[in-house]
Amino acid sequence: MGKHRRHSRREDTAQSAAERRVFHSPDDEDAQELDYWQPERLTLKAGIRILSWPMRLAYLLILTATAALNLYAWPKLPEEFPILQWFGYSSFMVSSLFYLIFVSCLLVFLVYRDVVNRSVSRRKLFIPLIFCLGNYYLLTDQLLALAG
């Protein structure tokens, strides 16, 4: 006689939940399984097309606000400024022009990854918004320190 394995209801629901989280490409039968929070990669045009108008507006607002703040801060910032500060001591100096260009390019890249469904986060808009706010607080802190 063979061994009979008892399946519990919890095992069945865990297995079916895991199966529900895995997406397959509808276009290719031999497609690799993708993680559940990274659905199929889209083209940029298709990604923009499936975004709702409020999401499109939010991404555009993030990019525009970052570009405007960087352009406003550029002539006012010193040639180099500290990125990290602990207990009043600066720990990392960076060229202000390099920082502004790097942050702008990084934000464009993060928005692109959100639009083509390859974000680092499950939630769209989260990562670009965090970087936008981080840039805002860092630059306003520098500008206020220079004004004071």
The per-residue pLDDT for 123 is 80
d(CA 2, CA 5): 10
Contacts of residue 52, Cβ cutoff 8 Å, sequence gap at least 6: none
Say yes or no to pLDDT of 25 above 70. no
Predicted confidence at residue 105, as pLDDT, reads 96
Predicted local distance difference test score (pLDDT) of residue 76: 93
Q: Report the C-alpha gap between 45 and 59 in whole angstroms.
A: 15
Q: Looking at per-residue confidence, does 52 or 86 come out higher?
A: 52
Our CA dihedral for 131, 82, 140, 112, rounded to 10 degrees, sits at -20
Percent of the chain with pLDDT over 90: 41
Is the whole model's pTM more than 0.85, yes or no?
A: no
Enter the tokens of residue 36: 């559940």
Q: What pLDDT score was predicted for residue 117?
A: 83
* CA dist list (Å): 101 to 24, 98, 142: 38, 5, 17
pLDDT digits (tens, 9 = 90+) for 85-142: 666 666 778 899 999 999 999 999 999 998 888 876 778 899 999 999 999 998 998 8
Q: How far apart are CA 23 and CA 53, in angstroms?
A: 26
Question: Which amino acid, one-letter code, is at 49?
Answer: R
- Tens of pLDDT, residues 61-76: 999 999 999 999 999 9
Q: Would you say the C-alpha torsion 17, 21, 25, 30 has a positive or negative sign?
A: negative
- How would residue 24 be classed by pLDDT, with cut points 50, 70 and 90? low
